Structure 1
Amino acid sequence: MALKNYKPTSPARRGLVLVDKSSLWKGKPVKALTEGKRKTGGRNNKGHVTSRGIGGGHKQKYRYIDFKRRKWDVPATVERLEYDPNRTAFIALIKYEDGEQAYIIAPQRLAVGDTIIAAEKADTKPGNAMLLSQMPVGTIAHNLEMKPGKGAQIARSAGAYAQIVGRDRGMVIVRLGSGEQRYLRGDCMGTVGAVSNPDNSNQTLAKAGRRRWMGVKPLTRGVAKNPVDHPHGGGEGRTSGGRHPVTPWGKPTKGARTRHNKSTDKMIIRSRHAKKKR
């Protein structure tokens, strides 16, 4: 997909750069594969805000995406490519030979009318899903499972991909977009190709209102507040907020590591922080 530039006919149009979605399906999604989505405004069941910066936004429907791809050896045809408001990637509606329909994350270079298949071993063609142990070394893949049968968890957003770089003791060595190299079980599923819409990160929204349509509220900087409202607040004149950036509740932020589940550390060969360590 290409990027669209707009003429500066108004201040809100000046600098506006969006992804061209003219080739996507313009109708509604398949009703049987959707569900109503209720907005929370970032509040929990007691009405307390637990996630700041959430509110408003356009009404959305949730599309059920097949992240497991366990319907093996049944060819499917790509009916159409669609926009999905719940994710940065585009989605594809596929129809199996037995008539069943499903939504999948659309990879790059997948076109309407293409035939794809999920199997234990398949051709290395964008959209085909297979076991990681059967993918040739060097394959670009997305929608990688971390546990067999759980569904894809790695490389699902726009333009994301991982690369199969080797095999060892029944495990597959994968290089992730962050630079991390890790082991994954060979009986996990993965899909060939990189995720669609790589230009998503090159968009310029050009006005605050467009962000509000997406359900994101503005957040006030801590240094602009009073000491009673934020640890960075107060001070004479314009102060930077101190040496260590923290959240309104005093927890370290902006780069502070929050990883607590160390049980899978043994699966990591090379940390994504390896370059940063001195």
Structure 2
Amino acid sequence: MALKHYNPTSPARRGLILIDRSGLFKGRPIKALTEGKQKTGGRNNKGHVTSRGIAGGHKQKYRVIDFKRRLWDVDGTVERIEYDPNRTAFIALVNYGAGEDGKDRLAYIIAPQRLGVGDKVIAGKKTDVKPGNAMEMGQMPVGTIVHNVEMKPGKGGQIARSAGTYVQVVGRDRGMVIVRLNSGEQRYIHANCMATVGAVSNPDNQNTNLGKAGRNRWKGIRPLTRGVAKNPVDHPHGGGEGRTSGGRHPVTPWGKPTKGARTRHNKSTDKMIIRSRHSTKRKG
């Protein structure tokens, strides 16, 4: 999909850059594949704000996505490519034909790049290396670009699901597959884990410019005041004479280190990481 640039007919239009979605399906999603979605406003069951910067936004329906792709060796036809408000990537509606009850078996999958209406997709232990096909990581040729990668067999894809992201298979080792992530991290993944061939659709999502604050409000995002603009009673960065930088060590309103401080606590998969994304910072 290309980017849409607008003439500066108003301050909100000046600099506005959006994704051209003219090629997407313009109707409503399949009702059986949607669920109701309630907004929280960032509040918990007691009504206390636990996540700041969340409120409002357009009403949304959640589209149930098939992250597992466990319907093996059944050809599916892509009926349409749709917009999904719950994610940055586009989604594809796949028809696997009539089931035992005589009704069409439909499922949404994350649409990879270069997948179009009418294309055939299939999932199995080993399939052709074509965009949209899913297979076990251990059966993929080295160098394959994949997305929707499982971390545990049967759990469903967790890695590389956002717009434009992908993972590259770089090797095999004793029942494991070595992959390189977008962050630069290299890690082991079990050879029985599933992944889908291709990079995720909508790579231009990162090049958009919303143009006005209201467009963020439509997405359910509220503005956040900088800590340095507050008083000392409201934020650790607050106060001071004139304009200050907020001190030597940036912290959250509750005094926790932020802006680069590591917050990872689940170390159970550290043994699967070959090269950390922190070990060699990218240059450029």
- TM-score (structure 1 length as normaliser): 0.99
Q: How far, CA to CA, are the matches of 2:179 and 2:120 in structure 1?
A: 27
* Structure 2 equivalent of residue 41 of structure 1: 41
Unaligned runs of 5+ in 1: none
Residue 26 (structure 1) aligns with: 26
Matched, 1:252 2:270: no
Correspondence for 1:88: 88
Give distance in 1, aligned partners of 2:281 and 2:66.
Answer: 36
User: What's the CA shift for 1:97?
Assistant: 2.4
CA displacement at 1:158 relative to structure 2: 0.1
Give the whole-Å Cα distance in 2 for the aligned partners of 1:224 and 1:134: 55
1:102 to 2:107 alignment: yes
1:237 match = 242
- Partner of 1:257: helix, strand, or coil? coil
Matched letter for residue 257 of structure 2: P
Q: Which residue of 1 aligns with 2:101?
A: none
3-state DSSP class of the match of 2:47?
A: coil
Match of 1:193 in 2: 198
What is the DSSP-based 3-state SS (H/G/I as helix, E as strand, rest coil) of the residue aligned with 1:100?
A: strand
TM-aligned CA deviation for residue 276 of structure 1: 4.0
Which residue matches 2:135?
130
Give the TM-score normalised by the residue count of structure 2.
0.97
Q: Give CA-to-partner distance per residue, 1:103-155, whole Å, 9 cap, x none.
A: 00000000000000000000000000000000100000000000000000000
Q: What's 2:273 paired with?
A: 268
Q: How many Å apart are 1:275 and its aligned residue?
A: 1.4
Identity of aligned residues (%): 80
- Helix, strand or coil at the partner of 1:97: strand
Structure 2 residues without counterparts, runs of 5 or longer: 99-103
Q: Which amino acid aligns with 1:245?
A: P
Question: Partner residue of 1:157?
Answer: 162
Partner of 2:11: 11
CA distance in 2, matches of 1:193, 1:273: 26
Offset from partner CA, 1:14-73 (integer Å, 9 cap, x none): 010001000000000000000111110000000000111000000000000000000000
- 1:207 correspondence with 2:212: yes
Task: Count the aligned residue pairs.
Answer: 277
Inter-partner Cα distance in structure 2 for 1:42 and 1:124: 42
- Partner deviation per Cα, 1:185-223 (whole Å, 9 max, x = no partner): 000000000000000000000100000000000000000
Cα RMSD (Å): 0.8
Post-superposition, which runs of at least 4 consecutive aligned residues in structure 1 deviate over 3 A? none
1:111 correspondence with 2:116:
yes
1:168 lines up with 2:177 in the alignment: no
Cα distance in structure 1, aligned partners of 2:89 and 2:11: 29
The match for 2:72 is 72
1:261 offset after TM fit, Å? 1.1
Q: CA separation in 1, counterparts of 2:132 and 2:201?
A: 11
SS at match of 1:165: strand
| Whole-angstrom distance in 2 between the partners of 1:93 and 1:173 | 31
